[in-house]
Amino acid sequence: MVDLKARSRPGEVFEFVMDSNETTGFVWSVESDGGTRCSLHYEPDDNPEFLDGVGGQEVIGITADSPGKRTIVLLSSRSPDEIGRRYVIELVTVPDPEMRYEKAAVGCRRTLVLESEGWKVIDSGELDWTMSVVDGRTEISVKANKEGTHSLTVVRGRSDAVEFLITAKEPETRMELEAEIGKPASFHLYSNPTTGFEWTVTDDGGLEYESRYVAAINRPGICGAGGRQEVTLVARSPGTYVFLMSYCRRWEGEPVPDCKVVLTARPPS
């Protein structure tokens, strides 16, 4: 269990204080420095009355010279056999990163692209991720399993760093369908391609599908009226399938799923 998560720049001293009381005989020490330089200094509280048992603060300084994520363990003990507690620090050391902002759907993979090689992930929070190099580019496939803003930090060498802030939300439209295998299951969505937005399949989940736009019947002379997207799904074997669509303008970057359909396909009755 990590007690404190912190960040620093390479060569910078990360400093913090903890309550302590050496009059009890318990003294803080470094059990594991994680490849950093650690300093500990005890400062007693002001005690003009010279009262017994008055404590103070332990001042801790940690320095890492290169980018990376490290775990530092501090130990409060009175003897090798008398341990008070352990305090675990997770320190991410990174140069000032370039910030990039992305959106994603919960449970759906999204690809982050860096136009060069040699990058490594040093901090990914609760994201699931894989990395590959394609035609000289670095591609990172990430998935957030819960809503919120998640951070993924990559570095290259000692001075290059990029931090992706990924805001993950559940698709706005969610529905559940059932059908026998080989039989169609249909649904429709509001659509208006005159705005430039159109429904795009981002993951068919292994289903056969047909998607078509049907314009609404409007009075003559009305411009920009929309219609609906009619979608039919077919499963060829029993199971549960997830079908994803995005309502997007194709030229505005990688689409984020706005519609999630869960289809349960059962054998013929």
Q: What's the pLDDT score for residue 109?
A: 87
Residues 6+ apart with CB under 8 A from 221: none
- Rounded (5°) CA angle 145-147-151: 80
Q: Of all residues in the chain, what percent carry a pLDDT higher than 90?
A: 74
Q: What's the pLDDT score for residue 221?
A: 55
Q: What's the pLDDT score for residue 251?
A: 86
What is the spatial distance between Cα 142 and Cα 134, in angstroms, rounded to a whole number? 16
What is the spatial distance between Cα 260 and Cα 49, in angstroms, rounded to a whole number? 69
Show the low-confidence residues of the chain (pLDDT under 50).
Answer: none
Domains and CATH numbers, the chain: 4-93 (2.60.40.2020), 98-169 (2.60.40.10), 173-266 (2.60.40.2020)
Q: What's the pLDDT score for residue 238?
A: 96
Q: What's the pLDDT score for residue 220?
A: 59
- Are the beta carbons of 91 and 75 closer than 8 angstroms? no
Instruction: Give the closest residue to 170 by CA, choosing from 92, 120, 104, 220.
Output: 104
